[in-house]
């Protein structure tokens, strides 16, 4: 325990975590990442929540974050993000930052070295690695890794859906946004509707993917850029929200999924956290559906099975050798059941975040600066 | 049907509780198994043959050979499906 007394040890770090949105049907991973860190053995650091909306509940919950701040939307670019983080850093020390949303990754990659110079550690993929796991790049990646994946195509025009059967694209199909959301559609009319919804929400391109039926299994793990995979935790979804997100799930130990994960990590040489979403069809074949470049919203299960991956991420950031990470053997059968709670927020708290972009429990230096 | 059809490795994936809850750690599926099935599954996981399981169950249940054989074949067929 002597090394825990070291103020520079990761258990004493102030850690900023994004993705504090937590709509029950599709929560961001930030609250779960923060919870993992809170419950990590020996963790005594502060957790700084970073969000985009005044109704992101994780920003207000002291159980989740010691302080909370609003960030500019990812579309405003990397310079605006750095400017805002500099503002926050003037009042609050941040030793590490864990981005938890797909759309913000390019901006954080762009300012990673600037943040490093300010003493903020990150473990991020390179831009090229990020592109290789784009939804429309999966067939090429899977060919290299020897993993099955359905055909996917970029669309800029909804007329595709009228004649797609002639090109071998039979319904049902899956229509996807470039970052988020996916809908199974059974007709051209339905496809057009979803196409417009996704374009309005996330912009172009829209993607269409062949539908694969089966059971969804997921894997989350860490990479260090060498091609190795560390701390894999596998989960089968047991209950879904309307958006297809896990409402309940059980830890599994699937050698086929593990082997596919190992090959994909090796092909990507991934650096940082990652989630694989795969479907097992009736024949038992696993099909890669998506790769998320971050921790998933169900990451708290990793703490539940003795493999607290957010804590392991901080240890890796500090330079811990991967084989020395504190990772228990997998514990299949451990189940999570998600539930929704109401966070009570005072008018003052809402006003503070709206006007000043920070919660009232930010450090005194930050309050004076405002 | 014999225990090799079931693949010993897949049988080992099934975690059996004393209360009759069986969890397939590969697929995440759960099942209920009665007392007779628990005996049969435990023996199969240990590598016992169909004949050995039938002999054990005749001694345990006091049922005629044909009844036990039919029961164990049906059970092994079910296991082959869920653990395929």
Most confident of A313-317, A326-330, B15-19: A313-317
Distance of alpha carbon A50 from alpha carbon A358, whole angstroms: 9
Q: What residues of B are in the A interface, CB distance below 8 Å? A: 13, 15, 23, 25-28, 84
Residue A99 φ/ψ, nearest 5 degrees: -70, 140
Instruction: Please say whether the beta carbons of A330 and A307 come within 8 A.
Output: yes
Distances (CA, A) of A361 to A222, A358, B4, B29, B83: 32, 8, 63, 45, 53
Distance of alpha carbon A290 from alpha carbon B47, whole angstroms: 39
CA-closest candidate to residue A156, choices A209, A203, A104: A203
Residue in B with minimal Cα distance to A235: B28
The pLDDT assigned to B4 comes to: 53
CA-closest candidate to residue A250, choices A295, A290, A305, A312: A305
Please state whether the peptide bond connecting residue A340 to the residue before it is cis, i.e. omega within 30 degrees of 0.
no
Q: What's the average model confidence in pLDDT over A229-236?
A: 97
**Which chain B residues contact residue A284 at CB under 8 A?**
84
Please state whether the peptide bond connecting residue A364 to the residue before it is cis, i.e. omega within 30 degrees of 0.
no
Looking at CA atoms only, how far is residue B30 from chain A in angstroms?
A: 9
DSSP-assigned letter for residue A32: H
Instruction: Please say whether the beta carbons of A357 and A69 come within 8 A.
Output: yes
Residue in B with minimal Cα distance to A280: B27
| Chain-chain contact of B15 with A253 (C-beta, under 8 angstroms) | no
Annotate A29-46 with b (16+ C-beta within 10 A) or e (fewer): bbbbbbbbbbebeebebb
The pLDDT assigned to A6 comes to: 63
Predicted complex: ipTM over 0.90? no
Residue in B with minimal Cα distance to A283: B84
Q: Residue B1 pLDDT > 60, yes or no?
A: no
* Cα separation of the two ends of chain B: 14
Instruction: Please say whether the beta carbons of A97 and A16 come within 8 A.
Output: yes
Q: Residue A364 pLDDT > 70, yes or no?
A: no
| Chain-chain contact of B15 with A250 (C-beta, under 8 angstroms) | no
CB of A253 within 8 Å of a chain B CB? The answer is yes
Choose the weakest-confidence range: A48-52, A153-157, A179-183, B3-7.
Answer: B3-7
Distances (CA, A) of A261 to A161, A251, A265, A335: 33, 15, 6, 21
pLDDT in tens, A178-215: 878 889 999 999 999 999 999 888 888 899 999 999 99
A150-209 residues touching B, CB cutoff 8 A = none
B24, containing H or E segment: strand B21-24
A14 band by pLDDT with thresholds 50, 70 and 90: very high
Tokens 């020395």 sit at which residue?
A: A324
Q: Residue A4 pLDDT > 60, yes or no?
A: no
In the structure encoding, which two tokens stand for residue A273, read together? Answer: 């956290």
Length of chain A as a residue count: 370
Residue in B with minimal Cα distance to A335: B28
| Chain-chain contact of B28 with A255 (C-beta, under 8 angstroms) | no
pLDDT in tens, A332-362: 999 999 999 899 999 999 999 999 999 877 7
DSSP-assigned letter for residue A187: S
């Amino acid at each position: 325990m002597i090394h825990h007394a070291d103020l520079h040890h990761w258990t004493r770090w102030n850690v900023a975590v994004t993705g504090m949105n937590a709509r029950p049907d599709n929560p961001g991973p930030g609250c779960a990442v923060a919870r993992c860190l809170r419950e990590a053995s020996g963790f005594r650091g502060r957790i700084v929540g970073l969000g985009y909306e005044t109704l992101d509940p994780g920003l207000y919950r002291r159980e989740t974050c010691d302080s909370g701040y609003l960030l500019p939307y990812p579309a405003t670019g990397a310079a605006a993000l750095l400017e805002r983080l500099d503002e926050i850093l003037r009042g609050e020390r941040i030793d590490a930052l864990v981005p938890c949303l797909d759309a913000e990754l390019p901006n954080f990659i762009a300012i990673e070295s600037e943040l490093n110079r300010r003493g903020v550690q990150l473990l991020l993929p390179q831009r090229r690695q990020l592109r290789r796991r784009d939804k429309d790049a999966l067939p090429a990646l899977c060919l290299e890794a020897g993993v099955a994946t359905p055909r996917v195509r970029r669309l800029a025009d909804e007329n595709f859906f009228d004649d797609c059967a002639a090109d071998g694209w039979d319904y049902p199909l899956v229509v996807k946004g470039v970052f988020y959301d996916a809908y199974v559609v059974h007709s051209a009319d339905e496809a057009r509707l979803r196409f417009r919804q996704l374009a309005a929400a996330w912009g172009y391109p829209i993607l269409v993917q062949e539908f694969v039926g089966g059971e969804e299994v997921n894997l989350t793990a860490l990479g260090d850029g060498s091609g190795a995979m560390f701390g894999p935790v596998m989960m089968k979804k047991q209950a879904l929200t309307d958006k297809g997100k896990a409402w309940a799930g059980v830890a599994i130990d699937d050698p086929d999924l593990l082997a596919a994960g190992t090959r994909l990590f090796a092909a990507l040489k991934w650096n940082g956290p990652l989630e694989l979403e795969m479907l097992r069809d009736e024949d038992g074949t696993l099909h890669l559906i998506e790769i998320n470049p971050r921790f998933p919203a169900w990451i708290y299960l990793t703490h539940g099975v003795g493999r607290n991956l957010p804590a392991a991420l901080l240890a890796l950031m500090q330079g811990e050798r991967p084989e020395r990470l504190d990772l228990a053997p997998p514990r299949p059968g451990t189940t999570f059941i998600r539930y929704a709670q109401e966070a009570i927020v005072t008018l003052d708290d809402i006003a503070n975040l709206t006007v000043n972009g920070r919660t009232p429990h930010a450090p005194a230096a930050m309050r004076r600066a405002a | 049907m014999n225990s090799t059809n079931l693949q010993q490795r897949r049988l080992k994936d099934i975690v059996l509780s004393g209360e009759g809850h069986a969890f397939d750690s590969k697929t995440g599926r759960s099942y209920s198994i009665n007392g007779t099935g628990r005996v049969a599954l435990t023996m199969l996981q240990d590598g016992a043959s169909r004949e050995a399981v039938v002999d054990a169950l005749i001694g345990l249940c006091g049922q005629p050979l044909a009844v036990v054989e039919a029961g164990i074949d049906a059970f092994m067929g079910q296991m082959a499906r869920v653990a395929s």
